[in-house]
C-alpha cells in the first residue's frame, strides 16, 4: 500500500474535515491492511482542510522529504515494525454532510471545572475518539470560559489502538497548559492511563 484516496463528509455544520474522522478512517484502513492493532500511536494534525485526503504509507526509516506541510501524520508500530502515514489534501472536497451532536456525549458526563476533570458515566453512541474529543472540548470550555476563539483537537497518542471494549467511567484530566494555546490531557480508565489528548486554541478572527 502506497497511496490511497480517502473521501469524507463534513461533520455537523463544520466546513473542515474533522480530526476524529481522519483518525477513524486511517486506523480502520491500516488495521485491515497490516492485519493487527496499532501500537505506539501518535496522530498529529498540522493544519485544517476542507478537502478530501490522500494517505501515503512509508516504513519509518524511508519517509521522503515533503515540499509542503501535510494535513496530518500518524506514526505507529505493528508487530515491531515502525510506520509513518502522511495525509495530504487533494483537489476535490466532500459532497456530503452528516449530523453530529457533541452534547449527547456531554450529557452523559460529570464535569469538575475546578478539578479540571470530566468522567463518562454511561456508554456514548459515538466512536472512541469522537467520545474523547467531545469530552475534552467540553472540559476546556468550562475551564477556559473567557477564551477568545475555540478549542480544537490537534493530537492523540497512546500505547495501543483501539483502546478498550468500553469507555464507561473513562476520565479525562487536563494536566498541562503548554503556553497559552496548547494543552495536554490524560485519559485514564480504572486507574490505567490509556493515552493523551492535545487541544489547541484557534482564533475566530
Kindly report, residue by residue over 126-148, the tens digit of the pLDDT: 999 999 999 999 999 999 998 88
At 63 the three-state DSSP class reads coil
At 172 the three-state DSSP class reads strand
The cell numbers describing 51, all together, are: 478537502
The cell numbers describing 9, all together, are: 463528509
Nearest alpha-carbon partner for 132 in 190, 76, 198, 87: 198
At 162 the three-state DSSP class reads coil
Q: Is the dihedral of CA 137, 138, 143, 144 positive or negative?
A: positive
From first to last of its 205 residues, the chain has per-residue pLDDT tens of 579 999 999 999 999 999 999 999 999 999 999 989 999 999 999 999 999 999 999 999 888 887 778 999 999 999 999 999 999 999 999 999 999 999 999 999 999 999 999 999 999 999 999 999 999 999 999 999 988 889 999 999 999 999 999 999 999 999 999 877 899 999 999 999 999 999 999 887 5
Residues 6 or more apart from 80 whose CB is under 8 A from it? none
Q: What is the pLDDT, as a whole number, of residue 84?
A: 95
Q: DSSP characters for 78-130? A: ETTEEEEEEEEE-S-----EE---THHHHTTEEEETTTTEEEE-S--SS-HHH
> Phi/psi zone of residue 201: left (φ > 0), alpha (ψ -120 to 50 degrees), beta?
beta
Amino acid at each position: 500500500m502506497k497511496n490511497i484516496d480517502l473521501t469524507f463528509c463534513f461533520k455537523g455544520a463544520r466546513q473542515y474535515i474533522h480530526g476524529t474522522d481522519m483518525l477513524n478512517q486511517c486506523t480502520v484502513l491500516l488495521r485491515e491492511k497490516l492485519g493487527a492493532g496499532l501500537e505506539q500511536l501518535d496522530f498529529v494534525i498540522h493544519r485544517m482542510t476542507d478537502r478530501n485526503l490522500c494517505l501515503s504509507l512509508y516504513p519509518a526509516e524511508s519517509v521522503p522529504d515533503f515540499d509542503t506541510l501535510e494535513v496530518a501524520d500518524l506514526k505507529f508500530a505493528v508487530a515491531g515494525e515502525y510506520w509513518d502515514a502522511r495525509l495530504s489534501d487533494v483537489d476535490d472536497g466532500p459532497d456530503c454532510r452528516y449530523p453530529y451532536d457533541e452534547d449527547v456525549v456531554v450529557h452523559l458526563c460529570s464535569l469538575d471545572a475546578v478539578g479540571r476533570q470530566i468522567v463518562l458515566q454511561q456508554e456514548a453512541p459515538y466512536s472512541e475518539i469522537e467520545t474523547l474529543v467531545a469530552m475534552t472540548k467540553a472540559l476546556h470550555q468550562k475551564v477556559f470560559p473567557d477564551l477568545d476563539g475555540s478549542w480544537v483537537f490537534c493530537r492523540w497518542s497512546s500505547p495501543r489502538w483501539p483502546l478498550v471494549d468500553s469507555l464507561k467511567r473513562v476520565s479525562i484530566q487536563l494536566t498541562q497548559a503548554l503556553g497559552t494555546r496548547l494543552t495536554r490531557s490524560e485519559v485514564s480508565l480504572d486507574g490505567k492511563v490509556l493515552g493523551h489528548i492535545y487541544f489547541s486554541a484557534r482564533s475566530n478572527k
